Homo-oligomer: A and B are copies of this chain.
Amino acid sequence: MKKEFLLIPGPTPIPHEVAQAMSTEMFNHRGARFKALLDQLTASLKEVFQTEGRLFILTASGTGAMEAGIVNFLSPGQHVISLVNGAFGDRLAKIAEAYGIVVERLEAEWGRPLDYAALGDLLQKDRDGRIKAITVVHNESSTGMMNDVEAISRLRGGHPALLIVDAISSMGAVDIPVDRWNIDVCLTGSQKALMLPPGLALISVREKAWETAAQAGAPRFYFSLHKAQEFLEKGQTPFTPALSQMVAMQKGLELYFAEGREQCYARHRRMAGAARAAARALGLELLVDDRYASMTVTAFKKPERIDVAELRAAMRGRFGVEIAGGQGKLSGQTFRFGHLGAVSEMDVILGVAALEMALKSLGYPLDLGSGVKAAQEVIMAGPQG
C-alpha cells in the first residue's frame, strides 16, 4: 500500500465529505435550486472575506480572478504600481501589461520585504492622481512570504488609487478583513484554504472599485463582473458554472465555519510555526525572515550538497510525501511545504519526519526526530483544540 500525502501550496488535500459532494448529479443552472445555492455561497463567502461588498464566483483557476481583478478596473494607458517580490506579484504585473496598462514596478528581492517607504513617497508625490491602482500579493506562495497589506492600505491614506490584492493562497487561512483594511478588490481560488478542488475563483469588490469599473476600458467578456452582477441579481451566473465545485463548496464552507475562522487562523499559525521550528532544529535555512513568514507555505533554502529534485524524489518515492520545489527564479534553490486547507499539524509532523529521513539518506547530517520534536513543541505550546 502506497499512501500519498500532499504538502504543496495547492491544490491542497480535500476532506472526504467535499470529495463526495463533488460527485453531485447535474441540475439546471438557471433554476430555483441553483439560485438558492448561489445565494447561500455568496453570503458565506462574504463572511470568509469579511466584507459587505460584492462577491463573485467565477469558473476559472485563480489566475482568472487575477485577470478579472485587473481588466474590470483599469484602462489601457493608465498607470498602476505593481508591488513585486515573488512569482505571483510578477504575474499580476504581467496581466496588467498584457492589457496595455502602464506598470510601475516596485520590486524587492524575492522573499524580501517590499519597500513600503518608497511606496508612500510615490503616492505622496502623485498629486495629479496618475496612479490608478496598487497591485500586491498578500501571500507569496512562491517564496512563503506575506506582504503587509494593512500597512499598504494605511500608507495609501486618502490617495484614490484602488488597492487590488491577490489573496489566493491565504484568504480563509489568515485574517484578511477586506472591509476593515479597505481592500477594494480581493481575490482567491477554491483549491487553497477553502479545501476544494481547483476550478473556481472568487473576487470581492467594494463600492469605490465598482464605480470605477463602469468606466474601465480594458476589454473583457468572460471575466466581465458587470455581466456577473447582472446575472447574480437573478440568482445565476452568465455562463454555465462549475456546478460540482459549487455544490462541494457548500460542504467546504460548512466544515470551515464548523472549525471557526479564528481557530482556522490559529491552526495555520501553528503549522507554520512547527515547520519553521523544525527547519531551525535541522539546521536548514529559511528563505524568509520570521517577521514576514507565510502561515500557509514555508520555503526552505536547500542545503549545500543537496539537490532539490533528488530530495523531492526521495520524499515522494519512499515516503509518499509530495512537497513543492522552488518556483520561477528560485527553482533548484528552495523547496516548499504547503500547509493550508485540509492539512493538520500532524501532516506537518509527518512531512518533517519524511524530510528528515530523505535528507539523511542523501547524506545530510542530522539527528532523526530532532525536527519532529521541535515541531511538536510548537504545536503543544500553541492554543489547543
In the complex the two chains form, what is the Cα distance from A322 to B27 in whole Å?
9
In the complex the two chains form, what is the Cα distance from A60 to B240 in whole Å?
9
Complex interface bits, A121-141 against B, C-beta within 8 A gives 1, otherwise 0: 000000000000000000000
Interface locus among A242-250, A280-288, A350-358, A362-370: A242-250
A376 at the interface (CB under 8 A from B): no
Q: Name A9's closest neighbour in chain B (CB-CB).
A: B240
Write out the residue numbers on chain B whose beta carbons fall within 8 Å of the beta carbon of A292.
none
Complex interface bits, A182-212 against B, C-beta within 8 A gives 1, otherwise 0: 0000000101000001110000000000000
Task: Given A12-B26, A94-B221, answer yes or no on A198-B19 (Cβ-Cβ < 8 Å).
Answer: no
Task: Given A27-B4, A222-B67, answer yes or no on A199-B245 (Cβ-Cβ < 8 Å).
Answer: yes
A181 at the interface (CB under 8 A from B): no
Write out the residue numbers on chain B whose beta carbons fall within 8 Å of the beta carbon of A28.
6, 8, 11, 322, 324
In the complex the two chains form, what is the Cα distance from A28 to B26 in whole Å?
27
> Do B6 and A63 have beta carbons less than 8 Å apart?
no
In the complex the two chains form, what is the Cα distance from A67 to B239 in whole Å?
12
Q: Name A245's closest neighbour in chain B (CB-CB).
A: B199
A269 at the interface (CB under 8 A from B): no
Interface locus among A78-86, A95-103, A170-178: A95-103
> Do A240 and B11 have beta carbons less than 8 Å apart?
yes
Q: How many A residues are at the interface, by size bracket?
A: 35 or more
Write out the residue numbers on chain B whose beta carbons fall within 8 Å of the beta carbon of A62.
239-240
Write out the residue numbers on chain B whose beta carbons fall within 8 Å of the beta carbon of A238.
63
Q: Smallest Cβ distance from A381 to chain B, in angstroms?
A: 30
A23 at the interface (CB under 8 A from B): yes
Counting chain B CB atoms within 10 Å of each CB, which of A4, A238, A239 scores highest? A239
A24 at the interface (CB under 8 A from B): yes
A22 at the interface (CB under 8 A from B): yes
Write out the residue numbers on chain B whose beta carbons fall within 8 Å of the beta carbon of A198.
29, 59, 240-243
> Do B244 and A10 have beta carbons less than 8 Å apart?
no
Write out the residue numbers on chain B whose beta carbons fall within 8 Å of the beta carbon of A245.
199, 242, 244
Task: Given A11-B243, A60-B64, A244-B244, answer yes or no on A26-B219 (Cβ-Cβ < 8 Å).
Answer: no
In the complex the two chains form, what is the Cα distance from A219 to B67 in whole Å?
11
**A residues touching B (Cβ–Cβ < 8 Å)?**
4, 6, 8, 10-14, 19-31, 59-64, 66-67, 94-95, 98-100, 189, 191, 197-199, 218-223, 238-245, 322, 324
13 contacts between A and B (CB under 8 A): A6-B26, A13-B26, A22-B244, A31-B322, A59-B59, A60-B64, A67-B222, A95-B221, A191-B240, A199-B241, A199-B245, A218-B219, A222-B223
